[in-house]
A and B are shown apart, each in its own frame.
Chain A
């Protein structure tokens, strides 16, 4: 069935270091992939997306890498800040009408 999973449930990093959050997906038909950030008590907030015909996309302090050969997605956050502490979800769209979310990775930034 469709599934999106994450390798690490919790990631602790030192402030200023780079963070890498990984995600495995299973549906080769997905047209795009999205990373969301969710802070406690809030809804998911869009971070960055990538189309299936791309392998890298950069935003402000974030980079998403897509490896379709091994069905792997990663989010890199440069110079991690305390405000980056949150749960991060990857999501894919195996069909046109919905997103399939992974279970989430907790990012903790130590000052």
Chain B
């Protein structure tokens, strides 16, 4: 049973470009969470999704950021018109039950905006 898979592991974008981060949850998991981590800091919640639904996006910036978890395929975190401040590690977690303590994290995508 593969763990949570995130790709790409590293992503470099120029300012103004779009970044797409993908997350495939563990098999059977229908709850996905995205977190952002700045260097030397803890993870900050961004969004919680179930299949085809956004449940809680209270941590998402109001502009440029969006997330989806379609019926088929991975969850996507999309950042439009990236700025240097978007440089961070983005982690996805999945769980079998809503906000279970048994949430498993992926290896993260490290986004660098140049």
Listed in ascending order, the chain A residues whose CB lies under 8 Å from chain B are 4, 32, 34, 36, 41-46, 49, 89, 91, 93, 96-104
- Complex CA gap A104/B89 in Å reads 15
B112 to chain A, nearest CB (A): 14
**Is B43's CB under 8 angstroms from A89's CB?**
yes
Kindly list chain B residues whose C-beta atoms are within 8 Å of the C-beta of A89: 42-43
Tell me, yes or no, whether B52 is within 8 Å of chain A by CB. Answer: no
* Interface residue B18 (Cβ < 8 Å from any Cβ of A): no
Beta-carbon contact of A97 and B55 below 8 Å: yes
Q: Mark B85-114, 1 if CB is under 8 A from A, else 0.
A: 000000101000011011111111000000
A40 to B56, CA, bound (A): 29
- B contacts, CB < 8 Å to A: 4, 33, 35, 40-45, 48, 55-56, 58-59, 91, 93, 98-99, 101-108
Q: Which residue of A lies closest to B105 (CB)?
A: A43
A101:B103 contact, CB within 8 angstroms: no
B residues near A45, Cβ cutoff 8 Å: 105
A96-B99, A103-B40, A103-B41 known; 16 new pairs, CB 8 Å cut-off, are A4-B42, A43-B4, A43-B105, A44-B43, A44-B91, A44-B105, A45-B105, A46-B101, A91-B42, A93-B99, A97-B58, A99-B35, A99-B43, A101-B43, A101-B44, A103-B42
Q: Flag if A100 contacts B45 (CB, 8 Å).
A: yes
Residue from the list A46, A96, A97, A101 in contact with B104, Cβ < 8 A: A46
Residues of A within 8 A of B107 (CB): 41-43
Contact of B56 among A4, A43, A97 (CB under 8 A): A97
Contact among B33, B35, B41, B45 for A104, CB-based, below 8 A = B41
Asked whether, in the complex, the Cβ of A43 is within 8 Å of the Cβ of B108, the reply is yes
Contacts of A34 in B (CB 8 A): 101
Q: Nearest-CB distance from B74 to chain A (Å)? A: 16
Bound together, the chains give a CA A110 to CA B91 distance in angstroms of 30
Known contacts A42-B107, A46-B103, A46-B104: does B43 contact A98 (CB below 8 Å)?
no
